[in-house]
Structure 1
C-alpha cells in the first residue's frame, strides 16, 4: 500500500470518510419541511447544515487524519487554506477546466442568450436568488471542503495518492443518491429516478476524481472549489443540442469538443505541477 509506520489502520481511514459522507447528507434532512429542495426555506435550512459540516469536518481531520501529515503541517495547510501559491491555484486549474469544456464554452458564447451575462441586472437578480447561491457558492464550497479538503487527508492515512483519488469520489458520488428520494417524492417513477441517479453518480464520481487530483496537485482548497463552481455553471455538456445544430455549426462545435480534449491531455501535466503552487504538503507522498 505504500504507507508509513505512523499511518492509520484500514478501518479508520475507510469508515471515517464514510461517516463524514453520511453525516453530510443526513445534515440536509434533519429539518422537517414539506417544501421541495428548490424552495427558499429548504435552501436556507440546508445552508445551516452546510455551515455545520464545514465546522465539524476539520475535527475529523485532527482526530483521524494521516499522522504524518498532522506531524509535519498545520491543520490549515493540510486543508489547503494557505497563501503561498494561492493566485496560480485560483487561475490555472480553472483555465485548464475551461480547455476541457472548450466545446460547451464555444456553444455558450455562440448562443445569443449569452448577452444576458453582461447585463448588471442579471447579476443583481442572481445575488438575490437562493438557488444561484446554492449551486454556485454554498454547494461547491461545502462539498469540496468536506469531500476533498477534509476527506482526502484522512484517506491518505492508509491509501496512496492514486488510490485516494479513486476512492474519495465514490463517497462523493454516493452522497448524491439522496436526490433520488426527492425525485420519487415528486412523482417520478422509481426506475427512472434510479437510472438518472446512476448517471449522476457516474459523472459526479468522474468529477470527484478530477477534483481530488487537483487538490493533491495544488495543495489548495480554492482550486477544487472554483473548478466545482465553474462546472456547476456550465452544467453537463448538452450533446443533444449539438446534434440539433445545422451541419456546419455541428461540425465546428464537434471539433471544439475534440480539440478541447486534446489540448487538455497535453497541458494537464505541466499545469498541475506541484512546484507552480508551492505544494510541499502532498507533492512527495506516495
Structure 2
C-alpha cells in the first residue's frame, strides 16, 4: 500500500509539474521578444503569433515525454491530429456563409482580430485543454481534472498585469482586482471548455466557444440594468441561462460526435482506466 501511495504521489507531482511547465512555457514565449511597444501593436502581435504557434506545435511532444516517464498510454493524440482537419473544415464552412470576401479580408488583416478569434483560441485550447487534461486525469480523476486544469489557464492570464503596470494603465489596486476578476471567469470558462472537450471528443467545439466568447466579451450586466427595455433584456439573460443548463448535457452527448475515445488511459501491467 505504501508503494502504491508513493507511486500515486510521484505521478501527481510529475503531472502537475508538467502542466505548470507547459503553462509557463506558453506564457513565457510571449516575452522572448524585447519590445517597448504595447501588446496590441501589430508588430508585437505578429511576434507573439510565432512564439505561441511554436509552443503549441511542441506541446504534444511534451505530453509524449510525460507518457514515456509515467508509463501511461495516452490515446489522446487522435483529437490533436483531428483538430487540423476539423478546424479547417469549420473555417471553410464559415467562409461560405459570407458572400463578400472583403469582410474576411478586413478581419484577416486585423492582427488583434486574428489574435482574439483565431490564434489565441486555437493555441490556448490545444495547450491548456488537449495537452494538459491527459496529464492530470491519471492523478486527479476525470471530474477533478476538469476543475483543476482551468486553474493553470486562469493563472496564465496574470501575465497581463505585467503589461498593465509597465504602461501604467490604471492604479496598482485596480490592475490587481482586474486580474483577480479575469482569473475567476477564465477559470470558470476553462472548466466549461474542458467539459466540452471531454464530452465530445473534439477540440473544435472548445476552439469555437473560445473564439465566440472572445468576440462577445464578458456580459455587460450593468448596461443591461440601465437599458430602456431592461425587463426584456433581463428576461433573455435568464432564458439563456436556463437553456444553457437544460441543453448542456444533451448537446454534448458523446454519441452525437462519434466513438472517438479522448481520455482512454492504459497503464502497462495494471487494470485499464477509461475516462469518457
TM-score normalised by length of structure 1: 0.80
From the superposition, tell whether residues 82 and 199 of structure 1 become closer, same or farther in structure 2 (CA, over 3 Å): closer
Aligned residue for 2:159? 178
Choose which of 109, 130, 138 in structure 1 pairs with 2:111. 130
Counterparts in 2 of 1:7-156, with a 5 A limit? 9-65=11-67, 67-70=71-74, 73=75, 76-77=77-78, 79=80, 81=82, 121-156=102-137
Alpha-carbon separation, structure 1, partners of 2:43 and 2:182: 25
Alpha-carbon separation, structure 2, partners of 1:45 and 1:83: 22
Question: Any idea what the Cα deviations from partners look like across 1:78-112, whole Å, max 9, x if unmatched?
Answer: 5362699x69xx7xxxxxxxxxxxxxxxxxxxxxx
Q: Where in structure 1 are there 5+ consecutive unaligned residues?
A: 91-116
Aligned residue for 1:97? none
Per-residue deviation, 1:172 = 0.1
Aligned residue for 1:243? 225
Aligned residue for 1:206? 188
From the superposition, tell whether residues 226 and 180 of structure 1 become closer, same or farther in structure 2 (CA, over 3 Å): same
Q: Is the 8 A contact 2:134 2:263 kept in 1?
A: no
Q: Is the 8 A contact 1:78 1:153 kept in 2?
A: no
TM-score normalised by length of structure 2: 0.83
Alpha-carbon separation, structure 1, partners of 2:227 and 2:102: 30
Per-residue deviation, 1:244 = 2.1
Question: Any idea what the Cα deviations from partners look like across 1:195-218, whole Å, max 9, x if unmatched?
Answer: 000000000000000010011111
Task: Kindly indicate whether structure 1 or structure 2 has the higher relative contact order, using CA contacts under 8 Å at least 6 residues apart.
Answer: 1
Question: Any idea what the Cα deviations from partners look like across 1:214-265, whole Å, max 9, x if unmatched?
Answer: 111111111111110011111110112112211xx21111000101111111
Aligned residue for 1:266? 246
Alpha-carbon separation, structure 2, partners of 1:211 and 1:58: 19
Per-residue deviation, 1:175 = 0.2
1:285 aligns to 2:246 (yes or no): no
1:220 aligns to 2:202 (yes or no): yes
Question: Any idea what the Cα deviations from partners look like across 1:16-71, whole Å, max 9, x if unmatched?
Answer: 0000001111100010111000001100100011111111101111111475442x
Aligned residue for 1:234? 216
1:252 aligns to 2:232 (yes or no): yes
Alpha-carbon separation, structure 1, partners of 2:28 and 2:83: 30
